[in-house]
Chain A
């Protein structure tokens, strides 16, 4: 097998990242953080997300493409910045043995893998956009929905792969699959929760053809993703809303009961074994 040299240039480091061998990445993670490591990961995120962001926004207008190319890497770094502290604390509490620096590098590796994936698909998306109907034309709306759906699938696929690699990396670093699963769940929950709100504040990304081209919507810091989703849900279910609210405690209660049952099952002390005389 080819020997890993994490001291090689950005190209070598990114190849290592793309190959995703968990043991090699864990070895890389244990090394002191140098400019090369930080530079390679940041370059991958900026390059990959900017290319993909440009392709996303380009259909609406070239200027919108430029805006999204700036905003998408910014969204990744801001999510990391907001969650960096709590991710580091949870990583230590859950027993990964990672320092704060290693936690940040680990998350950067995951986002860089995501960026490499979406960045590599950006030429295809760009070509698809160049072949698209006019946004304000008669077929524009249907095409817009297809475009939204396909790119949601691309982002989801890249996210799943990047997190699977992250899971294997944490597992290789800690040597414990259960610690890896718990840590990934904690980090993922936090990053998704904050990422969704930040992406809501930084909209538009896809660029609705009926709305003007702009870097941010008017009053960008005025709104809440989760409340908006809730209002949309309430509107869509109409009269069934109150009934659903009343039924909501049932699945929530079941989930809590399941969690507690699992928790107590794990923490039940074993029956004391009698020590026999030799």
Chain B
């Protein structure tokens, strides 16, 4: 190259320029959006767990190619994590709660997910997301699996307090805080995937997350006791979760 010849300005590839001309209104990828990329290796338990934590975009890519197998792995991750977390919660009271708490946690999360799925489909469509129900189901499963995985990570902390604390409201508050932290990170998968799949915004999806949170908290109250003991396996009296919490705190004082 002639050293006196000026170096040409670096330009974008021709394909990118053409795409930009053809789709001038498509927003460019930004922070928080998932990078959809192929998964390295098969969708094993370990690979799925790693993808959940580090590269959730790989799940989306894998989901569009191998649906059922991946969904099964995500369900397994969520079920095992919730079962272990439930077992730890059960150690607070022992006895029946050792198996009842894991069962109720898994049941509650399953029912909450199923009854909230139609609204997720509608709300995501209102955000401009054109995803098939199967894709959305994978996303929802990934959200639940990540939330459950984080609860599993918090399980030793909960255990430390379960063995040393008698206060039911304290343990309850701790669990709700940990669950909300898990859901916060789980929500990032939904919003990030929505952005990557062409959603105009994620406002309605965030609103759906609020609705899902309320439903899940109510489910925890409807299936009580998750912590502590009761005469019956399921409650005989119907209550709103805020009313139930207020009564528990008042009783403690």
Known: A194-B157, A226-B170. A85 touches B164 (CB 8 A): no
Q: Which residue in B17, B20, B157 is a CB contact (below 8 Å) of A190?
A: B157
Chain A residue with minimal CB distance to B24? A275
B150 is an interface residue with CB less than 8 A from chain A: yes
Interface 1/0s, chain B 146-164, versus A by CB < 8 A?
0001101111110011011
Q: Which B residues between 173 and 195 are near A, CB-CB below 8 angstroms?
A: 185, 188
Report yes or no: A201 in contact with B24, Cβ–Cβ below 8 A. Answer: no
A4 is an interface residue with CB less than 8 A from chain B: no
B27 is an interface residue with CB less than 8 A from chain A: yes
A277 and B21 alpha carbons, distance in the complex (Å): 7
A215 and B177 alpha carbons, distance in the complex (Å): 33
A92 and B30 alpha carbons, distance in the complex (Å): 19
Known: A227-B165, A270-B30. A82 touches B160 (CB 8 A): yes
A92 and B150 alpha carbons, distance in the complex (Å): 11
Report yes or no: B150 in contact with A83, Cβ–Cβ below 8 A. Answer: no
Report yes or no: B156 in contact with A222, Cβ–Cβ below 8 A. Answer: no
Report yes or no: A194 in contact with B160, Cβ–Cβ below 8 A. Answer: yes
Residues of the A chain whose Cβ atoms lie less than 8 Å from the Cβ of B229? none
* Closest beta carbon of chain A to B40's beta carbon, Å: 15
Chain A residue with minimal CB distance to B26? A272
A223 is an interface residue with CB less than 8 A from chain B: yes
Q: Which A residues between 96 and 125 are near B, CB-CB below 8 angstroms?
A: 97
Chain B residue with minimal CB distance to A267? B32
A198 is an interface residue with CB less than 8 A from chain B: yes
Known: A227-B165, A272-B27. A198 touches B160 (CB 8 A): yes
B53 is an interface residue with CB less than 8 A from chain A: yes
Report yes or no: B27 in contact with A193, Cβ–Cβ below 8 A. Answer: no
Q: Which A residues between 64 and 94 are near B, CB-CB below 8 angstroms?
A: 81-83, 85-86, 88-90, 92-93
Interface 1/0s, chain A 218-256, versus B by CB < 8 A?
000111101100000000000000000000000000000
Total contacting residues, chain A, CB less than 8 A: 32
Residues of the A chain whose Cβ atoms lie less than 8 Å from the Cβ of B152? 85
Interface 1/0s, chain B 3-26, versus A by CB < 8 A?
000000000000001001100110
Residues of the B chain whose Cβ atoms lie less than 8 Å from the Cβ of A269? 27, 30, 201
Report yes or no: B160 in contact with A89, Cβ–Cβ below 8 A. Answer: no
A278 is an interface residue with CB less than 8 A from chain B: yes
* Closest beta carbon of chain A to B1's beta carbon, Å: 24
A81 and B17 alpha carbons, distance in the complex (Å): 52
Report yes or no: B24 in contact with A221, Cβ–Cβ below 8 A. Answer: no
A88 and B156 alpha carbons, distance in the complex (Å): 13
Residues of the B chain whose Cβ atoms lie less than 8 Å from the Cβ of A267? 31-32, 202
Chain A residue with minimal CB distance to B25? A272
* Closest beta carbon of chain B to A249's beta carbon, Å: 14
Report yes or no: B150 in contact with A86, Cβ–Cβ below 8 A. Answer: yes
Most buried by A among B32, B149, B164, B165: B164
A151 is an interface residue with CB less than 8 A from chain B: no
Q: Which residues of A contact B (CB under 8 A)?
A: 81-83, 85-86, 88-90, 92-93, 97, 190, 193-194, 197-198, 201, 221-224, 226-227, 266-267, 269-270, 272, 274-275, 277-278
Q: Which residues of B contact A (CB under 8 A)?
A: 17, 20-21, 24-25, 27, 30-32, 53-54, 149-150, 152-157, 160-161, 163-165, 167, 170, 185, 188, 201-202
- What are the 10 closest A-B residue pairs judged by CB atoms, nearest first? A86-B153, A92-B53, A85-B153, A82-B156, A224-B165, A89-B153, A275-B20, A275-B24, A221-B164, A92-B54
